[in-house]
Amino acid sequence: MMPDRDLIRAALQAGPDCPPLQTLAYQMGLGSDTLERRAAEEHVKSCVHCSTQLAISCKFESGAARPEEDESVRWIAAQMRSTGILNNAGRTRNLTPDGWRRVGKPSLLAAALAVATPDRRGESQTTTTRGHTRGAERSPALGAAACGRTSWRPQGSTGRFPMDGSGRCCAICSHCDRSRPHHPVSRQNRNDVGASSGPGAQPARLRNDAAVVCYRGGSVR
Amino acid sequence: MGYRSDEELLEQARGCVDATVQKELLGQLFGRYESQVTLWCFRLTGDRSSAADLVQDIFVRAYESLHSFRGDAKFSTWLYTITRNHCLNDVRRRLARWVSTTEPLSEDTPDEDRFDLRLEWSDELRQMRKMLNETLDETERLVMTLHYFEEMPLEAVSRLLGLRNASGAKAYIVSARRKLKTAVARWRGWQMARKK
């Protein structure tokens, strides 16, 4: 006989008839008169695994910050906001319908995402980006993803972000000249990046092909 | 321009030849889920800096995996699966509870290889599934799933579900186990009677 924990865990696993969550969620979103939807509903009703997985994914999608989380979420957003600015934009390739795999370089994500534009639905739903209306400023998390520096860590530091709230990059950074202190990104640079998000705007002006803005907004070279 | 669904945005971005427009579209698409991903990571880790790291990793991973997104699923569920798997892997890593012989959850194709179930589908297991479904209320089921199946720490479960009672998820586990124990006893009694 299996121990309790293992038995419960096993019972909560997907059964042989369980479709993948993505398929199930898609089927549940179909019109109520479709066979697929009805079959999915029947399955969910009788399956503890699928019903809970679906419920958890719904919680994710409808997630809104609780009052006690607000401050932390804003803090994270601020960290993200100060992170991701363009780099290596000159090397950005166009994405093609069949060429998605080729663009799997985080640095390209920088170019792709730092120019995020306002999205009315997102704006109404998000807490973190409330009030931000431009490009990377508006999408801090995307800015962070856009940074393209996920592979490096500030040397001698346990985390990727300097947590001192200084808005400066770490003193020791594998991307930067170690002998030189880092500086917060200049207003001019921020404006350059922000300008890339407007209608018909040009990509951010980069001073050279190398990283222009360091991890947390300290300018590098 | 009117509202476009996630899938329409992605489709449009895929077919776009103008890199700037394409970037804008992708930015819009990911921007819609920024707060959800942030919240999920924060609730799971309970720690701002770890959450910030996770959010960043998740968006990079999602971007890198965009090619694997098929049109037969909702984009939000796809992103959720990446988020969930990435967060769970991180939690497990940090708790050092991950058995070294077990492969981490696949993140690019989150639900493809879930059927590798090596357990026997015995009567007992089937019955336990039925009991979980029929005797527990929704919150208890969620708590049990997150704790026993996803192996999340109880504090994380409490944060994720916003449980405000004094002992959080633990109270639900206790209550669920009590209900299950009763149901199992009843089932065993019924089985014994049937054998006689």
- Model pLDDT, residue A73: 87
Domain at B33-95: CATH architecture: Orthogonal Bundle (1.10)
Using a cut of 0.80, tell me whether the model's pTM lies above it.
no
More confidently predicted of B31 and A105: B31
Q: What are the Cα distances from residue A128, in Å, to A72, A77, B137, B149? A: 10, 6, 33, 31
Are A60 and B84 an interchain contact pair (Cβ–Cβ within 8 Å)?
yes
Residue to test with chain B: of A56, A147, A164, most B Cβ within 10 A: A56
- Taking the C-alpha atoms of residue B27 and residue B82, their distance in angstroms, rounded to an integer, is 18
- The domain locations on chain A are 4-61, 70-219
Residue to test with chain A: of B5, B39, B76, B180, most A Cβ within 10 A: B39
Are B64 and A116 an interchain contact pair (Cβ–Cβ within 8 Å)?
no
- Taking the C-alpha atoms of residue A120 and residue A124, their distance in angstroms, rounded to an integer, is 6
- Taking the C-alpha atoms of residue A74 and residue B58, their distance in angstroms, rounded to an integer, is 18
Of A9, A15, A117, the CB nearest to B28: A117
Amino acid at position A130, single letter: R
Protein fold of B123-195:
Arc Repressor Mutant, subunit A (1.10.10)
**Every domain range in chain B assigned CATH 1.10.10.10:** 123-195
Say which residue the tokens 């920024």 belong to.
B34
Q: Give the pLDDT means over successive 10-residue stretches in chain B (196 positions).
A: 82 84 84 89 89 89 85 87 90 62 40 36 79 93 93 90 90 92 86 81
pLDDT tens per residue across span A60-87: 888 788 888 888 888 888 887 766 522 2
Would you call A114 an interface residue with chain B, using a CB distance cutoff of 8 Å?
A: yes
Q: What is the mean pLDDT of residues A2-28?
A: 85
Residue B30 with chain A: CB contacts under 8 Å:
113, 116, 139, 141-142, 145
B96-104: long-range pairs with CB below 8 Å, 24+: B97/B151
Q: What are the Cα distances from residue A83, in Å, to A116, A141, A195, A214? A: 14, 9, 17, 8
